Structure 1
């Protein structure tokens, strides 16, 4: 086997940056400006979880080996799970490839203290099939592990080159409900399901806990090529209690103004919050309880003026999307998040906030026709 790491890096799709370091390349989905300005370790970790990031290559190799340094963040009291990679060969989704070789970071959910347990890189082997013929190969990287790409190898004499794009570029930004760490495999996130069925080339900028109408994310989206853009907004603002109504409204307009600077005519679809029972009529912040469910902290009535609930965020997004449409932005649209995942779906909301794999599949089924069907809002 010979190393083709440099060629493989040219095949990376869905990452904002390929950042070299002493242990490997981080395939970042968090913009460099955000990592520098926030100086937040958690932001960098979430951004290096390559949800939706994949190698798309044309190769006549019969197998591919990937070395990756993987890190799982585990909340105290939870058990680690295997890291999962997905393989697609000539459009056919194969069985997932898994490994338990990963570093662990145990996090206290209250204090956010981290306890690190390092491990050596994992080696994953992907069998592509017999016969030295050129195949289109996609290797989808783990959606819920901080990942460093250390090496990629193919047999001696085999070749590899970037594959043509899988379709028009769809850029999506959102919260953990778009990163989908609870999905059972990388192609099981709802944006990945939609992209594969719609024939779209996905850039998934869903970052767990980090969707706060940040200016640096708006600039990143502005500067990306995009044939369609969607924005799942609101839940992190409420559950982290980062804004009140007075700040949220101009932040929303400022975010869209920046995106429109780079994409004046691109269809943009705003998705308002999906259901979260603890926050429908109560403001955040939230903390996980001993029952494993998300709970809103008590806020005295005198401190609640202007505080945001999910119900109020949905009202504000609907109102201000319509305001922008009324002054000419007819390619801006809104989908009520509760039509994608609402009160009738909470059996698939095990912690009261994050859907399970069945829930993510249902979101995809409902979003696909609204966005990319014959009369889809992002077509």
Structure 2
């Protein structure tokens, strides 16, 4: 697997091989063809914070789980627009949708757009699980009045919509709160 730069274009690309070597198709599907995870979110999900392309969260999951991960995360624009939900719903053979838009959304967006966005996916793909992920409370947020105040409010609105959606139909809808996003080393 070759990971190309996330933010720089490639003008020239060469692969060096030893004399007499052959490049052949892999003996196993990697990633496995067919079902795929579809990730939607912000530049964080896109890989804007990864130290190199292979360290993007979706790239790591794809290698570890041997399943195709479609990364539809958009820097600054993961704002739960209706047209994006419709576009995601058209992707074939989806195993699960993972939705992580909170850092790009305002409190009002989390309140007014979440329900419709998720419902478009549910109506188009009623048997496909949807995993809603809260915005992470980064370590510095505890010391920042802006993040410390507004992130919990955005998460609250997002979660409120999750509860409403779950009350209507609990099937295939999951929620990851920010408390469960960090390991013991944070």
TM-score by length of 1: 0.42
For structure 2, the 5+ residue unaligned runs are: none
Change (3 A) 1:165 1:193: closer
Q: 2:77 aligns with which of 210, 220, 227?
A: 210
Choose between structure 1 and 2 for higher RCO, CA contacts under 8 A separated by at least 6 residues: 2
CA distance in 2, matches of 1:330, 1:313: 24
Which of the residues 26, 29, 43 maps onto 1:176? 43
Matches within 5 A, 1:282-321: 282=149, 309-321=150-162
Aligned to 1:220: 87
- Aligned-pair CA distance for 1:320: 2.3
Q: Partner of 2:99 in structure 1?
A: 231
Q: Deviations over 1:301-323 (max 9, x none)?
A: xxxxxxxx110122222232122
**In 1, distance between residues paired with 2:83 and 2:182?**
29
Measure, in 2, the Cα distance between the counterparts of 1:312 and 1:342.
23
Q: Can you give the 5+ residue segments of structure 1 that lack an aligned partner in the other structure? A: 1-85, 88-95, 104-120, 138-162, 239-243, 283-308, 346-379
Aligned: 1:273 with 2:135: yes
Q: How does 1:314-353 map to 2 (within 5 A)?
A: 314-341=155-182, 345=186
* CA drift at 1:251: 1.0
CA contact (8 A) 1:234 1:273 kept: yes
Match of 1:263 in 2: 125
Distance 1:323 1:174 in 2: 21
1:166 equivalenced with 2:55 (yes/no) = no
Alpha carbons of 1:340 and 1:257: their partners in 2 closer, same or farther (altered >3 Å)?
same
The 3 A distance-change label for structure 1 pair 338 and 210 is: farther
**Bigger fraction of residues in strand:** 1
CA distance in 1 between partners of 2:30 and 2:51 (Å): 27
Partner secondary structure for residue 15 of structure 2 = strand
Whole-Å separation in 2 of the counterparts to 1:193 and 1:269: 18
Equivalent position to 2:53, from 186, 189, 199: 186
Match of 2:69, SS state, is strand
User: 2: CA distance between counterparts of 1:317 and 1:342?
Assistant: 23
**TM-score by structure 2 length?**
0.80
Between the aligned partners of 1:170 and 1:280, the Cα distance in structure 2 is 30
How many Å separate the matches in 2 of 1:264 and 1:320? 18
Structure with the higher fraction of residues in helix conformation = 2
Partners of 2:4 and 2:154 in 1: CA distance: 40
Q: Flag the 1:342–1:213 CA change in 2: closer, same or farther, 3 A.
A: farther
CA contact (8 A) 2:81 2:117 kept: yes
Look up the SS of the partner of 2:13 in the other structure: strand
Which residue of structure 1 aligns with residue 24 of structure 2? 134
Computed over aligned residues only, the root mean square deviation of the Cα atoms, in angstroms, reads: 2.9
Taking a change above 3 Å as real, the CA distance of residues 266 and 237 of structure 1, as seen in their structure-2 partners, is same
- In the TM superposition, residue 224 of structure 1 has moved relative to its aligned partner by 0.8
| Distance of 2:74 and 2:11 partners within structure 1 | 24
